[in-house]
């Protein structure tokens, strides 16, 4: 849908086209590095994670399935998994997830038209998150963005494991009820 140009770049990069590789990296490096540093909170580790994520995108380009999501989403998933792995041996001090929810999102004007659609979806997500109870919002952001396991959410929030799981599940169900069934505003 919105990733035709992105898919073409990915295919070109996989085929060894240097111009496509350069364009692919230039297009996604800020978002990939941004997610990596958000999770790891260490710019040096984030740089390694981001580089590895882009290399994996090249290595596994043939495995990318457009039916399962956009190139950007696929790439961010790779980035998130790598960043989570990098944090396995050192989970940082207590994290405040509310900062992420309050950050403004704005199109830069440089994205393909399809990317603007995703930003609109993310904006709807942000509004839906703001309507969640605080404890559920914190749990879902810790898990969904920072990759905290339920146990890590429990430790961060100083709550029982069962409570953490319930908050995560309830938050996702509420978001699903709002976002999956709601039609975007015209």
Partner 1 sequence: MSCATVRERAPELALGILSGAERAEVLLHVNGCARCQAFVDEHSEIADLLPYLAPEVEPPAGFERHVLAALRGDRRRNARRWVAAVAATAAAAVVVSVAAVRVIDAGRDTGSEAAPVVRSVSMTGGDGHTVGRVTVSGRSTAAVVVNVDYALADGTYALELRRAAGAAQRIGDLSVTGGRGEWRGTAALSPHRKLTLAMLDATGAVVCEATLPAV
Binding site for partner 1 (CB under 8 A): 13, 16, 18, 21-22, 25-26, 29-31, 33-35, 37-39, 43, 47, 50-51, 54-56, 58-60, 62-65, 69, 73-74, 76-82, 100-101, 103, 105, 118-119, 121-122, 125-126, 140-141, 143-145, 147-150, 165, 168-169, 171-173, 175-176, 179-180
| Shorter beta-carbon distance to partner 1: residue 62 or 94 | 62
| Shorter beta-carbon distance to partner 1: residue 71 or 158 | 71
| Shorter beta-carbon distance to partner 1: residue 4 or 81 | 81
Q: How far is the CB of 54 from partner 1 (least distance, A)?
A: 5
| Shorter beta-carbon distance to partner 1: residue 60 or 96 | 60
Q: How far is the CB of 59 from partner 1 (least distance, A)?
A: 7
| Shorter beta-carbon distance to partner 1: residue 8 or 165 | 165
User: For 16-48, b where at least 16 C-beta lie within 10 A, e where not — what string?
Assistant: eeeebbebbbebbeeebbebbbbbbebeebbee
140-143: Cβ within 8 A, 24+ apart: 140/167, 140/168, 140/171, 140/172, 140/175, 141/97, 141/98, 141/100, 141/101, 142/95, 142/97, 143/168
Q: How far is the CB of 163 from partner 1 (least distance, A)?
A: 14
Cα(176)–Cα(125) distance, integer angstroms: 10
Q: How far is the CB of 13 from partner 1 (least distance, A)?
A: 8
Q: How far is the CB of 60 from partner 1 (least distance, A)?
A: 5
Alpha carbon of residue 55 to chain centroid = 18
CA-wise closest residue to 161 among 172, 174, 149:
149
Can you tell me which residue has the tokens 């919002």?
Answer: 137
């Amino acid at each position: 849908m919105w990733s035709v140009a992105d898919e073409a770049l990915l295919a070109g990069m996989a085929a060894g086209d240097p111009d496509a590789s350069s364009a692919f990296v230039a297009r996604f490096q800020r978002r990939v590095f941004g997610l990596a540093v958000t999770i790891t909170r260490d710019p040096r580790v984030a740089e390694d994670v981001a580089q590895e994520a882009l290399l994996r995108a090249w290595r596994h380009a043939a495995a990318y399935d457009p039916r399962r999501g956009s190139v950007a989403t696929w790439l961010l998933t790779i980035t998130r998994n790598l960043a989570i792995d990098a944090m396995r041996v050192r989970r940082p001090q207590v994290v405040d997830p509310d900062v992420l929810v309050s950050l403004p999102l704005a199109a830069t004007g440089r994205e393909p038209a399809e990317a603007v659609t995703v930003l609109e979806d993310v904006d709807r997500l942000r509004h839906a998150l703001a309507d969640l109870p605080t404890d559920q919002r914190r749990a879902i952001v810790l898990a969904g963005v920072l990759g905290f396991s339920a146990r890590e959410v429990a430790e961060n929030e100083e709550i029982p494991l069962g409570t953490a799981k319930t908050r995560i599940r309830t938050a996702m169900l509420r978001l699903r009820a709002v976002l999956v069934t709601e039609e975007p505003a015209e």
